Amino acid sequence: MWDSLIAFYGTKDLEQTHKFYVDALGLNLYQDQGTCRIYQVTEGGLIGFCQHLDIAISGRSPIITLVTDHVDEMYEKLIQLGYKPNEPPKVNQQFGIYHFFITDPNGYNVEIQKFLS
């Protein structure tokens, strides 16, 4: 029934957001709508950032989670590019994951994780 999913978030700086999600995280620009840019995460999974939306942050939410088997490699890549993850990757027994967090240019929490089971 459904073809894909797009989650939209607010941004004040499309260029900094683009640099982070394309250059640092390796996502592809799916569509540039002028005041919104949409990035492809997986075949049917998309994420968008729009200047006309508010940046909505409350504590540790929302969390944008990107799932990969290459958590350590992504951590090292981000450090090499001058980004500062919140802490090194670690196992979270409660959720059965291996992960780390980094804050994107908008202040959103981005979690890079893999499932352990």
Helices (H) and strands (E) in the chain, counts: 2, 8
Q: Which residues of 29-46 are buried (b: 16+ CB within 10 A; e: fewer)?
A: eeeeeeebbbbbbeeeeb
DSSP assignment string, 48-82: EEETTSPP--BTTBSEEEEE-S-HHHHHHHHHHTT
Domain that holds residue 40: 5-115
Q: What is the DSSP letter of 37?
A: E
What pLDDT does 57 receive?
87
pLDDT band at 80 (very low <50, low <70, confident <90, very high): very high
What pLDDT does 42 receive?
94
Domain count, the chain: 1
Q: What rounded mean pLDDT belongs to the chain?
A: 96
pLDDT tens digits, 13-70: 999 999 999 999 999 999 999 999 999 999 999 999 999 999 988 877 799 999 999 9
Q: Residue 80 has which token pair?
A: 């090499």
What pLDDT does 22 receive?
98
What pLDDT does 59 receive?
78
Whole-structure pTM value: 0.92
Share of the chain above pLDDT 90, in %: 92
Please report, for the domain that includes residue 21, its CATH number. 3.10.180.10
State how far Cα 2 lies from the chain centre.
Answer: 22
What pLDDT does 58 receive?
85
Mean pLDDT of 87-97: 97
**Contact between residue 85 and residue 103 where contact means Cβ atoms under 8 Å apart:** no
